[in-house]
């Protein structure tokens, strides 16, 4: 008889029901299958391994790329009463954690990918009981993906030591090419891929040429009550914007990795609590933040890729209420991006170039922005969404878009 996950969902997580494809994913894991789950940020990926970890005999080994993220996840898992630990170079209780694993006292064990190649670690796993593997941010295994981590390539030999243990790869950000690569790299069959819907119908996408960034942002902020995030390219730009945008009368803060950790943490905490704050941030901001009422996300320049754009704008309107995403770009953004591509190693250039082309198609289109986004993620959306700039105000003539095309083909 198949295991029924619903009672555990109610008892441990207190949610009345699964969302979207969660049930499908969990059922495959409980049936011992290999799975790739492609689910947008906020769709609830963690639950698809946390829940089985509470039901299955043994420990779920979770691979996660960032130690900071791991510690957030650890706290969240412990908060619902799961027995969890991290095994990383910064943990001082590693011996205790190994003991808990061997005694069968852990539901979840979080590790960084580089640990996977260690002989000691392989021995440890073989002496204990592994219930499943969860590979978070699985696009890191692909050179085609936007965030390749060579250490993720160390996982396959480890996974293959446990051929009968279910493996679940998770990602929010995989185009078709990257997905195929993840399946190959991690030994997951094609029928094991489950893709959730990517549409965020309450987000209104608007993309336009930049002339005076500060003035454009001030107009946007004045027109949009509620908390908002402005993404800028550099640390200096976030600080300049945070100061300049104060003319709107809204509380403003900067956020970037170079700030004093205490200041950074305070700015983030203030933002999460605030109902009207504007935070000017680098893309370091937002990971692991659960703030449902963000009303706008603005990009003061071209994001890194469509995936990054989707992920960053996806932080708006998680509560389902109307929200806006504004991107301001200039031809020089493309020039700079092309230059950067020229500097990366040759093997990665085709992928980077394709990513830039996709981004150009999005910003240049006179058609529906949402349709382009969703097609990028393999969906078949209607021709017009009715809730993006081009659907609401169809453009009359080509303008700045020609400039970007020139830069791309030069």
3-state secondary structure the chain: CCCCCHHHHHHHHCCCCCCCCHHHHHHHHHCCCCEEEECCCCCCCCHHHHHHHHHCCCEEEEECCCHHHHHHHHHHHHHCCCCEEEECCCCCCHHHHHHHHHCCCCCEEEECHHHHHCHHHHHHHHHCCEEEEEECCHHHHCCCCCCCCHHHHHHHHHHHCCCCCCEEEEECCCCHHHHHHHHHHHCCCHHHEEECCCCCCCEEEEEEECCCHHHHHHHHHHHCCCCEEEECCCHHHHHHHHHHHHHHCCCEEEECCCCCHHHHHHHHHHHHHCCCCEEEECCCCCCCCCCCCCCEEEECCCCCCHHHHHHHHCCCCCCCCCEEEEEEECHHHHHHHHHHHHHCCHHHHHHHHHHHHHHHHHHHCCCCHHHHHHHHCCCCCCCCCCCEHHHHCCCCCCCCHHHHHHHHHC
Count residues near Mg ion (CB under 5 A).
2
Residue among 136 and 389 whose Cβ is closer to Mg ion: 136
What is the nearest approach in angstroms of ligand ADP to the Cβ of residue 27? 14
Q: How far is the CB of 157 from ligand ADP (least distance, A)?
A: 26
> Looking at beta carbons only, is 19 or 215 nearer to ligand ADP?
19
Q: Choose the one of Mg ion, ligand ADP, none that binds residue 41, judging by a C-beta under 5 to 8 angstroms depending on kind.
A: ligand ADP
CB of 351 to Mg ion, least distance (A): 23
Taking CB within 5 to 8 Å according to partner kind, which of Mg ion, ligand ADP, none is near residue 211?
Answer: none
Question: Measured from the CB atom, is 284 or 341 closer to ligand ADP?
Answer: 284
Cβ distance to ligand ADP smaller for residue 47 or 220: 47
User: CB of 32: closest distance to ligand ADP in angstroms?
Assistant: 22
CB of 16 to ligand ADP, least distance (A): 7
Binding site for ligand ADP (CB under 6 A): 15, 18-19, 22, 39, 41-47, 290
- Residue 42 touches which member of Mg ion, ligand ADP, none, C-beta under 5-8 Å by kind: ligand ADP
Both structure tokens of 321 = 């209420």
Give the nearest residue (CB) to ligand ADP: 44
19 binds, among Mg ion, ligand ADP, none (CB under 5 to 8 A by kind): ligand ADP
Cβ-contact 60, 133 below 8 angstroms: yes
CB 227 within 8 A of CB 278: yes
**Residue 317 interaction partner, one of Mg ion, ligand ADP, none, beta carbon < 5-8 Å per kind:** none
Give the nearer residue to ligand ADP in terms of CB position, either 39 or 331: 39
CA–CA gap between residue 241 and residue 279 (Å, rounded): 9
**Taking the complex as a whole, how short is the minimal distance between the CB of residue 208 and Mg ion, in angstroms?**
32
C-beta separation of 51 from 26 below 8 A: yes
Q: Which is nearer to Mg ion, 40 or 301 (CB)?
A: 40
Q: Nearest Cα to 280, choosing from 264, 302, 262?
A: 264
Q: Judged by CB, which is closer to Mg ion: 46, or 202? A: 46
Q: Which of residues 10-49 bind Mg ion (CB under 5 A)?
A: 45-46
Nearer to ligand ADP, 19 or 190 (CB): 19
When the beta carbons of 186 and 300 are compared against Mg ion, the nearer one is 186
**Residue 216 binds which entry of Mg ion, ligand ADP, none, CB below 5-8 Å type-dependent:** none
Residue closer to Mg ion, measured from CB, 45 or 370: 45
Q: Which does 115 bind (CB under 5 to 8 A by kind): Mg ion, ligand ADP, none?
A: none
Backbone φ and ψ of 297, nearest 5°: -125, 125
Site for Mg ion in 270-329 (CB under 5 A): none
Q: Which does 100 bind (CB under 5 to 8 A by kind): ligand ADP, Mg ion, none?
A: none
- Pick from ligand ADP, Mg ion, none: which does 318 bind, CB < 5 to 8 A by kind? none
How far is CA 276 from its chain centroid? 24
Q: How far is the CB of 177 from ligand ADP (least distance, A)?
A: 21
Does position 204 bind Mg ion by CB under 5 A? no
Q: How far is the CB of 43 from ligand ADP (least distance, A)?
A: 4
Those residues with Cβ within 8 angstroms of residue 212's Cβ, 6 or more apart along the chain or in another chain: none
Rounded least distance, CB 148 to ligand ADP, Å: 20
User: Which residues contact Mg ion (rule: CB under 5 A)?
Assistant: 45-46
């Amino acid at each position: 008889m198949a295991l029924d996950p619903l009672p555990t969902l109610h008892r441990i997580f207190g949610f009345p029901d699964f969302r979207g494809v969660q049930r499908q994913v969990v059922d495959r894991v409980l049936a011992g299958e290999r799975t790739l789950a492609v689910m947008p940020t906020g769709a609830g990926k963690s639950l698809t391994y946390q829940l089985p970890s509470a039901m299955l005999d043994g420990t779920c080994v979770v691979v996660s790329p960032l130690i900071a993220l791991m510690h957030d996840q650890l706290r969240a898992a412990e908060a619902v009463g799961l027995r969890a630990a991290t095994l990383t170079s910064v943990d001082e209780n590693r011996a205790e954690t190994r003991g808990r694993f061997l005694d069968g006292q852990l539901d979840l064990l979080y590790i960084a990918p580089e640990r996977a190649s260690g002989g000691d670690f392989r021995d440890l796993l073989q002496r204990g009981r592994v219930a499943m593997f969860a590979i978070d941010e699985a696009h890191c295994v692909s050179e085609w993906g936007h965030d390749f981590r060579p250490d993720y390539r160390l996982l396959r030999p480890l996974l293959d030591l446990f051929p009968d243990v279910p493996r679940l790869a998770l990602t929010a950000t995989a185009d078709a090419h990257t997905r195929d690569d993840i399946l190959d790299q991690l030994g997951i069959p094609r029928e094991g891929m489950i893709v959730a819907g990517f549409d965020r119908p309450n987000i209104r996408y608007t993309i336009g040429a930049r002339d005076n960034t500060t003035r454009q942002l001030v107009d946007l902020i004045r027109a949009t009550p509620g908390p908002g995030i402005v993404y800028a390219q550099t640390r200096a730009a976030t600080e300049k914007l945070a100061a300049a945008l104060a003319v709107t009368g809204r509380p403003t803060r900067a956020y970037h990795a170079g700030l004093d950790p205490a200041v950074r943490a305070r700015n983030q905490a203030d933002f999460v609590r605030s109902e009207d704050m504007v935070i000017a941030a680098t893309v370091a901001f937002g990971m692991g933040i659960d703030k449902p009422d963000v009303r706008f996300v603005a990009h003061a320049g071209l994001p890194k890729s469509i995936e990054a754009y989707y992920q960053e704008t996806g932080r708006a309107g998680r509560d389902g209420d109307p929200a806006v995403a504004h991107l301001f770009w200039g031809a020089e953004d493309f020039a700079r991006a092309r230059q950067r591509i020229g500097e990366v190693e040759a093997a990665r250039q085709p992928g980077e170039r394709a990513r830039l082309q996709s981004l150009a198609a999005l910003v240049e289109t006179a058609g529906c922005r949402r349709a382009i986004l969703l097609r990028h993620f393999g969906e078949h959306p209607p021709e017009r969404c009715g809730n993006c700039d081009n659907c609401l105000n169809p453009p009359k003539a080509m303008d700045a878009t020609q400039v970007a095309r020139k830069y791309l083909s030069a």
